[in-house]
Amino acid sequence: MKKYRVALVGVGAVGAEMIRVLREKDFPAESIQVFASRERTETIAGEEFHILPTTNDSFKGLDIVLFAGGTDASVAFRDAVVSAGAVMIDNSRAFRQDPDVPLVVPQVNAEDLEWHHGVIANPNCTTAIMLEAVAPLHKAKRLRRLVAATYQAASGAGAKGMQELEDQARAAAEGRPLVVSAFKYQLFDNLIPHIDKFDETNWYTLEELKMRNEARKMLHAPDLGISCTSVRVPIPRAHSESLNLEFEEDITPDEAREILSNSPGVKVVDDPLAGHYPMPLDASGKYDVLAGRIRQDISRNDKRGLEMFVSGDQLLRGAALNAVEIAEELVRRNLVHR
């Protein structure tokens, strides 16, 4: 089997998951090099790496470079990666709306990889989780409108967000003051309906607008009606979403369950009388997006509306797993060239 020289830029919660998923999925990596802001030795996902500082010369001789750092690093080193002949798979927001950059979840729009020019973007975590479950229904019945409410875990703010929630829970139990740093307000015992900056022209947050803009691009549906409210919730890991879906054709809950049961990357968990429905606790650490609470929208007098609830691991489906699956699909399609 052909082997590929892989690199990771950025060491954090997502970067650690990328290393772990590469190993779990037995990706054909001849080597894995890790780059960050400074040189050091560090254990990542149980494996010791000699981390080197990132420079424009870091990417020579590499085949695939996974970016798990911030937007600034992705922008700064894009040209160096492409010039070196490697493929950049970027987890930041830097290139998601660039018309020359495919924005991809392999189960949704793998065909877009065929026109990449050296850079491929990972979508926002909530978009990736949503589309894993929504895209198969869209392909079958053509989605017209979607209204979403997201319940986003502390992991969406990275390792520092997860640690802050844990520290606040411990401080509350011990009667100590709660320290607030990673979020605008304390997250423990609270909900925060504010993720990212507000767009003062419409008062949606950028997080909410990402859902609309990215879903339209990935589904090739530029006029798709999408509205979203994003809320940070006090759980450590895995995002959940309540989705109201309107289709151009009739669709029943049984039809939706049948479609999703045959869709890779989705697990239908939908037996409410037995207490089986998607929950972030069950989605944490899992590759599949859980879909359930599928029911006809009773606010309508036709059969073109559904309600659904989904949960998915933000660090996996929303980031690391998706990046590795993009790399796997590139290899499968022979789109990595030395």
Contact between 18 and 68 under an 8 Å Cβ cutoff? The reply is yes
Residue 218 CB burial class (10 angstroms; 0-12, 13-18, ≥19): buried
CA distance 318 to 128: 5
The token pair that represents 217 in the structure block = 């691009």
Out of 50, 116, 125, 228, the active site residue is: 125
Q: Any catalytic annotation for residue 276?
A: no
Which residues are within 8 A (CB) of 124 and not within 5 positions of it... i.e. 6 or more apart?
93, 96, 207, 210, 211, 214, 318
What letters, b where the CB count within 10 A reaches 16 and e where it falls short, cover 247-270? Answer: beeebebebbeebbeebebbbbbb
> CA 185 to CA 287: how far, in whole Å?
31
Give yes or no: 239 in active site: yes
288 vs 265: CA distance, rounded Å: 5
* Residue recorded with tokens 């606790």: 281
Which candidate in 138, 194, 239, 276 is catalytic? 239
Angle at the Cα of 79 from the Cα atoms of 159 and 15, rounded to 5 degrees: 20
Which segments of the chain does DSSP mark as H helices, in order? 13-24, 71-83, 106-109, 125-141, 158-174, 206-219, 253-261, 280-283, 321-332
- Taking the C-alpha atoms of residue 182 and residue 163, their distance in angstroms, rounded to an integer, is 9
Kindly state the greatest CA–CA separation across the chain.
63
- Cα 3 from Cα 221, distance rounded (Å): 37
Return the active site residues: 125, 239
